Structure 1
Amino acid sequence: MTTAAVVLAAGQGVRFNSALPKVLHEAAGRPLLGWVLRALPPLDRVVVVVGREASAVRAAAAHWGPDDLVVIEQPQQRGTGHAVRLAADALDGIDTVLVVPGDTPLLDEKLLAGLLDRHVTSGAAATLLTATPADPSGYGRIQRDAGGDMVGIVEHRDADAADLAIREINTSVYAFQTGPLRTALERLTTDNEQGEEYLTDAVVELLGSGVNSVQAPAEATDGVNDRAQLAAVAQLLRRRILHDLMVTGVTVIDPATTYVDADVSVAADAILLPGTHLQGRTRVAPGAVIGPNSRLVDTVVERDAQISYSVLLEASVGVGASVGPFAYLRPGARLERNAKAGTFVEVKNSTVGEGSKVPHLSYIGDTTIGRGANVGAATVTVNYDGYDKHRTVIGDGARIGSDTMLVAPVTVGHDAYTGAGSVITSDVPPGALAVERAQQRIVEGYAERRRRRHES
């Protein structure tokens, strides 16, 4: 038996009031479409139907879907039935097809695989995934006879008062036998309030050939139609992520204020303090302590490192290294073992060597710092001349005095010193002291003369 999925991702998303297609809005680090594609069980083919901003949705589908993904464009959004009818051209040789909306990020592989199994074993022409939420508003209702058999599906807009009182809803997730589905799709009309081809009408057409249903937890099938619903499902996804982390040995002090994206990896015995945000493909090793109030994006944190009140973007923090409080590590920043970037320190495209320290109030850009060096407060590596960036090299064991300006390109040799307040424009030999400042001058009686001038 061959199986495929058709993912419907062509919708307008009018209620989002957004220039971005609905399925590309993110929840917990993935676009809605990405969650759906990653939830699909193993299949022989995956087809995504795109419409609005087709090129952007196509690119997202290619990123999150399988390598042999098929994309079908629906230039005019004329309903779910029309979308599946267009996709049917890509279903040659497929026995069973799963149809899934692209805006249902809470679906998981186990649920979809169970739907497929139930459908295949039953021999039905179609199997629906239904749910009974606390508030069924906006969803199509499942109509059943006195014996409990399904007799129809009515969309919310077309429902009367009796239909609206029904709690069981159609989640818009289906499994079909491909042959009967193709036949039913050809008979669809637009005779409804929205003037669209409803896929639900194809299901009704198949009632005589056998239609089953599988009840799903209401939470698992929530769709996203506006930003309030997006925030709600994102909260549920984060809750799942944090639960899985805690079960595997991660300490999360306050899950309500901790945000971890889906593709983040956190090892056992790491500690996440309140206000921690881990995004992108951040990796956190055992024993690391992150937070409070820190944001890490695409950053690697090695064993026993500590980060507090800081922002790190595409940075790397070595074993036992320390960041913060109130530090900013920009792309290309690397702290080696036991290095430190302290209070109000910014590091960009630079390496701070093993055991070296930049304790406070400094900017380190396009710089290589060796082992065991110390950079005094208010040091700046002056890396930009208005046209190009230049590198600074600080050797092993060097001591940079407070308020030193290192005007790149410049090298401070190993075990060399710079005097506080110096502007260093030339290389400093190993073991030497470089001082560049005017000799201090004492002007006696200055304050009294100034007072007299003011009074006169």
Structure 2
Amino acid sequence: MTNRYAVVLAAGQGTRMKSKLYKVLHPVCGKPMVQHVVDQLNTLDLKELITVVGFGAEKVQDQLGEDSHYVIQEEQLGTGHAVLQAEDILADKEGTTVVVCGDTPLLTGKTLQNLLDQHDVQNAKATILTAHAEDPTGYGRVIRGGNGQVERIVEQKDASEEEQAIQEINTGTYCFDNAALFEALKNVSNDNVQGEYYLPDVIEILKDQSEIVGAYQTPHFSESLGVNDRVALSKAEKLMKQRINEHHMRSGVTIVDPDQTYIGPDVTIGQDVVIYPGCVIEGETQISDDAVVGPHSTIKDCHIGKETVVKQSVAANSRIGERVQIGPFAHIRPQSSLGDDVKVGNFVEVKKATFGNGSKASHLSYIGDADVGSGVNIGCGTITVNYDGENKHLTTIENDAFIGCNSNLIAPVTVGEGAYVAAGSTINEDVPAEALSIARSRQTNKEGYASKMKSIKKD
């Protein structure tokens, strides 16, 4: 196999987006468009990937990190000029270079692989990714000769009536013999209305040199979608969501209402998981077999164990064990870890806390910066008072402790193994193992007090 390289065109500002956010960084199903493109290219065993950046270069580099090398197109002088910025890195290399626009998030690695295979089979100098469009208006038409090779690309404004009837369109994705690409780019002219250097002109130059120019037609027109405005962005979002949900359903996941379920591209889900409507599942979330999620839950960057149930709750950047019951209306905040058979019930907030196996906080509690052992019962209205105005402190609740309702545990503090905290207590000293701690005022009843107050009000 010849060496493979890729150039991602990501220098355009995208004025039609009417946004302060750089165009290729707009997310589709939670991931920036350019990241979708780079992730798919990285399935091709590339020797080098170069991203051409311009306006907003630093933010694109922050997003892609070490996945790419970068070159800057300081002036936006067309797609040919953009590719030429990679000359210093690629010009002396032999192999095949794929050129992809950074605003085509629906393009798949499988299609790119098929494009490269077609290129190799035909021993072509260039191969164009094409698609069949029911309505090709606005697209460049691909004109083929009798042998199936590409004769030329005709833009809409230059096409004859007969050519406009052609439904095979240019998607703007190509692969080239690398040496031929950069040699041809030297001969691309900007003698046009826009005064720009167009990459498709390379095709005409190669044809004039009697080189083979091939084409691979993707069976999925949706992959050709380039996002230039918010309308196209919403179309890409819908198509990507449909693709992702269908993948999971065909892999054994029940999605009750796919139209109302949003799953990110990096989420992994086991078999016989059930996802109810209104859920948003993002990031690198992993959901194990037989779990139930939803309705209306939001989960990001979590590991969820087998047979766990999450109902109408929010969880982020946490590890959740097997057979856990969460919600409804619970909030699992980052850096939390829940063991197996844990219960975090309605209106319970957990933050940077660990729960051992079988522990429960069933309702109306805040457990933050806490180390909760196994078999612990935390009563309704319990608060770990973790913040002194400057620093956060740890609350430790050891195995099999019982925390009565409406208790305040003022950190740093430890409740020992098997200890009891009486309801309504405010604990600011350690509780020994097996002890009962009562920290509340003794009840006093004032007989006849209510009648006295009523008489005063009448006077």
Rounded Cα–Cα distance in structure 2 between residues aligned with 1:97 and 1:371: 57
Q: Secondary structure of 1:112's match?
A: helix
Query: Where do 5+ consecutive residues of structure 2 fail to align?
Result: none
Structure 2 residue aligned with 1:214 = 216
Rounded Cα–Cα distance in structure 1 between residues aligned with 2:425 and 2:117: 74
Structure 1 residue aligned with 2:345 = 342
How far residue 151 of structure 1 moved from its aligned partner, in angstroms, is 4.7
- How many pairs are equivalent? 451
How far residue 285 of structure 1 moved from its aligned partner, in angstroms, is 1.0
How far residue 193 of structure 1 moved from its aligned partner, in angstroms, is 2.7
The within-5 A match list for 1:393-412 is 393-412=396-415
Rounded Cα–Cα distance in structure 2 between residues aligned with 1:33 and 1:222: 13
How far residue 449 of structure 1 moved from its aligned partner, in angstroms, is 2.6
Tell me which amino acid in the other structure corresponds to 1:39: Q
Structure 2 residue aligned with 1:24 = 25
Against the structure 1 CA distance between its residues 131 and 422, is the aligned structure 2 distance closer, same or farther, given a 3 Å change threshold? same
The within-5 A match list for 1:237-252 is 237-252=240-255
The within-5 A match list for 1:108-257 is 108-143=108-143, 150-155=150-155, 158-159=157-158, 162=161, 167-208=167-208, 209=210, 210-216=212-218, 217-257=220-260
How far residue 182 of structure 1 moved from its aligned partner, in angstroms, is 2.3
How far residue 359 of structure 1 moved from its aligned partner, in angstroms, is 0.5
Tell me which amino acid in the other structure corresponds to 1:211: V
Q: Secondary structure of 1:229's match?
A: helix
Against the structure 1 CA distance between its residues 438 and 167, is the aligned structure 2 distance closer, same or farther, given a 3 Å change threshold? same
Rounded Cα–Cα distance in structure 2 between residues aligned with 1:314 and 1:178: 43
Contact 1:357-1:373 within 8 A present in 2 as well: yes
Contact 1:96-1:176 within 8 A present in 2 as well: yes
Q: Secondary structure of 2:86's match?
A: helix
Q: Secondary structure of 2:115's match?
A: helix
> TM-score, structure 2 length as denominator?
0.92
How far residue 181 of structure 1 moved from its aligned partner, in angstroms, is 2.3
How far residue 268 of structure 1 moved from its aligned partner, in angstroms, is 1.3
Structure 1 residue aligned with 2:432 = 429
Identity of paired residues, percent? 43
Rounded Cα–Cα distance in structure 2 between residues aligned with 1:150 and 1:319: 57
> TM-score, structure 1 length as denominator?
0.93
Once the two structures are overlaid, the 10-residue window that deviates more, 176-185 or 395-404, is: 176-185
Structure 2 residue aligned with 1:325 = 328
Query: Where do 5+ consecutive residues of structure 1 fail to align?
Result: none
Structure 2 residue aligned with 1:273 = 276
Structure 1 residue aligned with 2:46 = 43
Contact 2:336-2:350 within 8 A present in 1 as well: yes
Structure 2 residue aligned with 1:448 = 451
Contact 2:149-2:213 within 8 A present in 1 as well: no
Note the alpha carbon deviations across 1:231-255, whole angstroms, 9 max, x for none.
2212222222222222222222221
Contact 1:48-1:61 within 8 A present in 2 as well: no
Rounded Cα–Cα distance in structure 2 between residues aligned with 1:195 and 1:285: 55
Once the two structures are overlaid, the 10-residue window that deviates more, 337-346 or 86-95, is: 86-95
Runs (4 or more) in structure 1 with deviation over 4 Å come to 143-151, 158-166
Against the structure 1 CA distance between its residues 450 and 185, is the aligned structure 2 distance closer, same or farther, given a 3 Å change threshold? same
Q: Secondary structure of 2:85's match?
A: helix
Contact 1:99-1:173 within 8 A present in 2 as well: yes
Q: Secondary structure of 2:182's match?
A: helix
Tell me which amino acid in the other structure corresponds to 1:214: Y
What is the RMSD of the two structures over their aligned residues, measured on CA atoms? Answer: 2.2
Q: Secondary structure of 1:365's match?
A: strand
Q: 1:380 aligns with which of 363, 379, 383?
A: 383
Rounded Cα–Cα distance in structure 2 between residues aligned with 1:51 and 1:232: 26
Contact 2:141-2:170 within 8 A present in 1 as well: yes
How far residue 205 of structure 1 moved from its aligned partner, in angstroms, is 2.1
Structure 1 residue aligned with 2:107 = 107
Structure 2 residue aligned with 1:415 = 418
Structure 2 residue aligned with 1:6 = 7
Contact 2:149-2:215 within 8 A present in 1 as well: no
How far residue 392 of structure 1 moved from its aligned partner, in angstroms, is 0.9
Contact 1:29-1:263 within 8 A present in 2 as well: no
Against the structure 1 CA distance between its residues 402 and 188, is the aligned structure 2 distance closer, same or farther, given a 3 Å change threshold? same
Tell me which amino acid in the other structure corresponds to 1:124: A
Against the structure 1 CA distance between its residues 166 and 194, is the aligned structure 2 distance closer, same or farther, given a 3 Å change threshold? farther
Rounded Cα–Cα distance in structure 1 between residues aligned with 2:183 and 2:440: 88
Once the two structures are overlaid, the 10-residue window that deviates more, 276-285 or 112-121, is: 112-121
How far residue 436 of structure 1 moved from its aligned partner, in angstroms, is 1.9
Contact 1:4-1:94 within 8 A present in 2 as well: no
Rounded Cα–Cα distance in structure 1 between residues aligned with 2:325 and 2:395: 22
Contact 1:384-1:390 within 8 A present in 2 as well: yes
How far residue 94 of structure 1 moved from its aligned partner, in angstroms, is 2.1
Rounded Cα–Cα distance in structure 2 between residues aligned with 1:183 and 1:270: 54
